[in-house]
Chains A and B, each alone.
Chain A
């Protein structure tokens, strides 16, 4: 069995006002990847290429062992896709949708679907047009989950959900991963959700991947050092430091490749290390994006 469920190599797509540029992406089977980017960063375009909905100009895409877009019909039997603009029929009920989807996909699991109806607090007889945004998202997710796909691709699944619904949805996503052969890719700009449940994290900005790693490495490599400098001392440029904030004798350094040896370097300069802070994924994301934009601007 291939241990990568998704593999992008050098994928590019040109639009008049946007370029997806040389995307490499690897998603190991059995894990969750959080795909983070600002609005318009290229998340949805990447996902559409993954699904075969948009054809790349360059590069290769392999999903569950199928080259895309060539093999998309077969690949889609094993992919569950939920996006924000997913159209369900407004005049039809949830029950009607469940019967429709189950008639197409042979692996439809009716018992699981019914369990999800209860867990998501949905009603079988309710028409889609009468549902709130959160209920619609949960309905779409239910229709995808009950097919028991090997790969779930979710475009902003938690956006616009209230805290209770968000917790239900994240819980169901984790439950999918109880089976080691299932894999999830979800895009979000909610870094807190991503930080909590993702194994792999990928940052995208302006159509380029700016970082991609497993979450523990990500969090391990980033630190913020708060220093106190002796009087009349200038802090030289230190390798690995990508941002220097603070002011005067109280600089704040941000590094994306923290090594305890850095602390002794600072101490050798006469500085006192006041604190070494862990950073949240949100802080890491914002700093990465800013750093990259500044580097490009120079």
Chain B
């Protein structure tokens, strides 16, 4: 199989980092589109003549960074961009809500008071939004 990734022996960095960097570049310039299927770990290892475990490590780290998504038994695809940001925001919201609940408890607020404060905050945020977008 032909591969257009290059592993350099004179590049001092570990091979898995070289693989990660080149895949990120491919994704960022759009050569590998969001949602596109990418070579399996074994296919890429064969093409590059590097060990399976090295490519596996690169894929694991890329997945952790949200660049690719690996489905067990189905191979890997480039992460669909659309889902990446909402997922991060979802995590953030959950974290902030928990913190708000803890602070509310410290201040002795009832759940109703806390909910109304949240309502006021979201009202203010709505007013600001259009201005920010202009």
Contacts and interface: CB of A to CB of B under 8 A. Distances in A.
B72 to A, nearest CB: 14
Query: For the complex, would chain B's binding face be called helix, strand, loop or mixed by DSSP majority?
Result: helix
Contacts of A241: none
B96 interface: no
A170 B49 contact: yes
A178 B53 contact: no
Interface stretch (B8-16, B103-111, B112-120, B123-131): B8-16
A169 to B, nearest CB: 10
Contact of B46 (A30, A174, A196): A174
A175 B15 CA distance: 19
B46 A178 contact: yes
Given A174-B45, A177-B42, A180-B42, A197 B53 contact: no
B57 interface: yes
Interface residues of B, number: 17
Interface string A266-298: 000000000001100000000000000000000
A199 B15 CA distance: 13
A219 B14 contact: yes
A215 B51 contact: yes
Interface in B15-54: 15-16, 42-43, 45-46, 49-54
Interface residues of A, number: 23
B8 to A, nearest CB: 12
Contacts of B12: 277-278
A233 interface: no
Contacts of A229: none
Nearest to A197: B51
Interface of B: 9, 12-16, 42-43, 45-46, 49-54, 57
Given A199-B52, A199-B53, A219-B14, 12 more contacts: A31-B53, A32-B52, A170-B49, A177-B42, A177-B46, A178-B42, A178-B43, A196-B49, A198-B51, A215-B54, A216-B54, A278-B14
